[in-house]
A and B are shown apart, each in its own frame.
Chain A
């Protein structure tokens, strides 16, 4: 039960939903940058939503399955194909032993996720299985995947086995899949401009009137300095009314902080646990997946919403995920 890495891609890491309870020790939360995509991928193969999967960045890997496997690819469309045939995303797919999964052109988004029934069976460290690149721990040997790595898979759940069993009856193609797919509308295909909903950040009021307006009106461009820690943006330079005496304190994913040069930084999964820059905005949790799909060169705008509205959106999203869990339980074939 394993997958062999034939080509590693630009940056492919094992990720789950991150670590909880260790930020007070300076240990980052980490986890999938687009947690929605990973949760859905896992549910589609009958796994727990927090099972470990692969996070694939822009230029994807080539992977060989050493066993028949039930998989799902979600997130950004990086043109996945199996043995030359395009692989449908956002749905469970059964691939045979020996199948070669390859990623190609990045059509939309920045990060794709691969879940396999049973999850990637890497050791749990500090309550998580995700790769913590800077500390060199977690995931597969604490690092990005390399050619020749053999990734062990866990034992699929009963639901996963049942789904695989039903799919295996339909054959004749390089893989077997279903006709429906999960909701993926949050990644607009081919668009160069994204909009995320955001609340005012803790230091919002300390910026000049102009900066406050620009922050929520003008689009910013994602610079090449984008990684799992965060995304440096360029556009209107944001300035404070007067210098603010800031002490380092905890920061959150989706925080838009502004260093002295005025160009905001949007924080993602691998952000440091603490920061000392003024925070102009806070991206709503439901739109973090959009932010995680932002590519260098793309534009991003922040649309102001209230905390109440963000809570409503959050509840709706979690209700959707719960419905999906129910749906997968009743064996949807």
Chain B
């Protein structure tokens, strides 16, 4: 049994608190850790499997699940007895939701959480696609080839998606290739750009201004609004990067091929092998 499994078999009890009258937060210690994130995923999956009446959606993040609901629907459903006899129709609605989520969180089976999908993302490093690779290499005291090797040999955990549609907040980058943001942000970073900022690495799904050091680009679209789901990645996925040539980049870009391996093939990719910094956006 790996270290991480030993840790994750423990069920940490989270705090549950109202966030306004239309949402409740379930949150663990504010740390970026795979074992905490496994709890986040477990609760998120449980709530998606068994939503309560009036639940609108729940959003997983590093160490919290935010549950949005319509208080009116909850109130109506509770009056009809849909929440069972444990919940008084006289109580404020949020108390019912807080106590329901406390029960669900306490009863979570962490080991039953689904195996993460391993998603391979092809990247063409350097050149026109990664204009800051040399700068990152200089900062790290490495050759550009060494930076690519380090970056492409990591396994990265998708803690959450946010900032832009399909944008993954990743953990797992080796600190040896950390680099400060650019002093002058670019006014437009092309979609698919792979960058480094501090101890984090990320991929821009949309063209946006930004100050990250760009080391490469992927031809894979991360945000696909007409597909279901509209995002290549989900919270809990594991990402691996595969270096590709410029020719392959152009071929993939034109063909629209996706090199995505889902589920079982990646089941062996243990989160224990991923080293996690304390990076933040």
Same complex for A and B? Answer: yes
| Chain A interface residues toward B at CB < 8 A | 20-28, 125-126, 134-135, 137, 199, 201-202, 245-250, 252, 254-255, 272-274, 276, 282-285, 307-308, 310-311, 314-315, 318
Contact A274 B163 (CB under 8 A): yes
- 23 inter-chain pairs at a CB distance below 8 angstroms, sorted by A residue, are A22-B57, A23-B57, A24-B57, A25-B161, A26-B167, A26-B205, A26-B231, A27-B165, A135-B165, A199-B21, A247-B62, A247-B64, A248-B61, A248-B62, A248-B280, A249-B66, A250-B23, A252-B23, A274-B61, A274-B163, A276-B281, A284-B21, A310-B20
Residues of A contacting B66 with CB < 8 Å? 249-250, 252
Residue B235 at the chain A interface, CB threshold 8 Å:
yes
Known: A126-B230, A247-B280. 6 other contacts (CB 8 A): A21-B57, A22-B230, A26-B167, A252-B22, A276-B280, A311-B71
Residues of B contacting A20 with CB < 8 Å? 56-57
Residues of A contacting B21 with CB < 8 Å? 199, 284-285, 307, 310-311, 314
Contact A247 B92 (CB under 8 A): no
Contact B27 A272 (CB under 8 A): no
Contact B25 A202 (CB under 8 A): yes
Task: Determine which residue in B61, B62, B165, B231 has the highest number of CB atoms from chain A within 10 A of its CB, and name it.
Answer: B165
Residues of A contacting B235 with CB < 8 Å? 24
Contact B59 A250 (CB under 8 A): yes
Query: In angstroms, how far is the closest chain A Cβ from the Cβ of B254?
Result: 22
Q: Which residue of B lies closest to A254 (CB)?
A: B20
| Chain B interface residues toward A at CB < 8 A | 17-23, 25, 27, 30-32, 44, 56-64, 66, 68, 71-72, 75, 92-94, 160-167, 169, 205-206, 223, 225-226, 229-231, 234-235, 280-281
Residues of B contacting A250 with CB < 8 Å? 23, 59, 61, 64, 66, 162
Contact A126 B225 (CB under 8 A): yes
Q: Give CA–CA (A331, B22) in the complex, Å.
A: 33
Contact A282 B20 (CB under 8 A): yes
Query: In angstroms, how far is the closest chain B Cβ from the Cβ of A295?
Result: 24
Residues of B contacting A22 with CB < 8 Å? 57, 230
Q: Give CA–CA (A199, B92) in the complex, Å.
A: 15
Q: Which residue of A lies closest to B59 (CB)?
A: A250
Q: Give CA–CA (A284, B71) in the complex, Å.
A: 12
Query: In angstroms, how far is the closest chain A Cβ from the Cβ of B275?
Result: 18
Contact A246 B162 (CB under 8 A): no
Contact B61 A252 (CB under 8 A): no
Q: Give CA–CA (A240, B217) in the complex, Å.
A: 39
Contact A247 B167 (CB under 8 A): no
Contact A246 B223 (CB under 8 A): no
Residues of B contacting A285 with CB < 8 Å? 20-22
Q: Give CA–CA (A126, B62) in the complex, Å.
A: 25
Query: In angstroms, how far is the closest chain B Cβ from the Cβ of A24?
Result: 5
Q: Give CA–CA (A22, B166) in the complex, Å.
A: 10
Q: Which residue of A lies closest to B233 (CB)?
A: A25
Query: In angstroms, how far is the closest chain A Cβ from the Cβ of B44?
Result: 8
Contact B160 A248 (CB under 8 A): yes
Q: Which residue of B lies closest to A21 (CB)?
A: B57
Query: In angstroms, how far is the closest chain B Cβ from the Cβ of A151?
Result: 21
Contact B93 A311 (CB under 8 A): yes
Contact A307 B59 (CB under 8 A): no
Contact A315 B20 (CB under 8 A): no
Residues of B contacting A255 with CB < 8 Å? 20
Q: Give CA–CA (A328, B241) in the complex, Å.
A: 57
Residues of B contacting A125 with CB < 8 Å? 225-226
Q: Give CA–CA (A247, B22) in the complex, Å.
A: 21
Query: In angstroms, how far is the closest chain A Cβ from the Cβ of B216?
Result: 21
Residues of A contacting B20 with CB < 8 Å? 199, 252, 254-255, 282-285, 307, 310
Q: Give CA–CA (A314, B163) in the complex, Å.
A: 29
Residues of A contacting B92 with CB < 8 Å? 307-308, 311
Contact A25 B166 (CB under 8 A): yes
Query: In angstroms, how far is the closest chain B Cβ from the Cβ of A324?
Result: 15
Q: Give CA–CA (A163, B235) in the complex, Å.
A: 49
Q: Give CA–CA (A134, B63) in the complex, Å.
A: 27
Contact A202 B17 (CB under 8 A): yes
Query: In angstroms, how far is the closest chain A Cβ from the Cβ of B33?
Result: 11
Query: In angstroms, how far is the closest chain A Cβ from the Cβ of B236?
Result: 10
Q: Which residue of B lies closest to A247 (CB)?
A: B62
Residues of A contacting B161 with CB < 8 Å? 24-26, 273
Residues of A contacting B75 with CB < 8 Å? 311, 315
Contact A249 B223 (CB under 8 A): no
Assuming A274-B162, A307-B20, is B64 touching A252 (CB within 8 A)? no
Q: Give CA–CA (A322, B56) in the complex, Å.
A: 20
